């Protein structure tokens, strides 16, 4: 874009315009995919976005917000499967009076859930795998 040749400058500007268009459409999806790679996680995206957009950028906040919003939607949609699995794993010997509290017990097994961390929080807090490690990410 800074070439002295007018043709090259125009071509560079056009290519940059196309890059910005597609980067803005797909960077969010790609960033979330990278976060789900246990060799990179959120740290890599934070590092890369700091280089691209500066520290504490709006773009990084958008990635983080979207990641947690997607996970929340996932949990809303599939949490009934988790609860039914918990019910299937609990002993079947319950007294008639205990039926009333069965749902409560399954949801609040270890106390209040307000301070509990989601699987996403736990995943992000785990140590990253070695970046050079061979890994079939889809199998993982």
| CA-CA-CA-CA torsion sign (28, 32, 37, 41) | positive
Rounded to whole angstroms, how far apart are CA atoms 116 and 125? 14
Q: Each residue of 20-42: pLDDT tens digit?
A: 888 777 788 899 999 999 999 99
Residue appearing with tokens 């993982």 = 140
Structure confidence at residue 84 (pLDDT)? 54
pTM of the entire predicted model: 0.60
Runs of H (alpha helix) within 1-131: 6-35, 41-53, 58-89, 102-107, 119-125
Q: Each residue of 72-99: pLDDT tens digit?
A: 998 888 877 765 554 555 455 545 556 5
């Amino acid at each position: 874009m800074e070439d002295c040749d007018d043709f090259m400058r125009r071509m560079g500007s056009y290519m940059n315009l196309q890059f910005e268009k597609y980067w803005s459409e797909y960077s969010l999806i790609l960033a979330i995919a990278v976060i789900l790679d246990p060799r990179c996680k959120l740290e890599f995206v934070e590092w890369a976005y700091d280089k691209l957009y500066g520290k504490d950028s709006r773009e990084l906040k958008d990635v983080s917000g979207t990641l947690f919003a997607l996970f929340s939607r996932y949990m809303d949609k599939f949490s009934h499967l988790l609860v039914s699995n918990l019910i299937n794993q609990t002993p079947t010997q319950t007294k008639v009076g205990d039926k009333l509290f069965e749902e409560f017990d399954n949801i609040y097994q270890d106390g209040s859930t307000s301070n509990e961390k989601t699987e996403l929080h736990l995943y992000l807090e785990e140590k990253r795998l070695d970046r050079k490690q061979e890994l079939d990410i889809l199998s993982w």
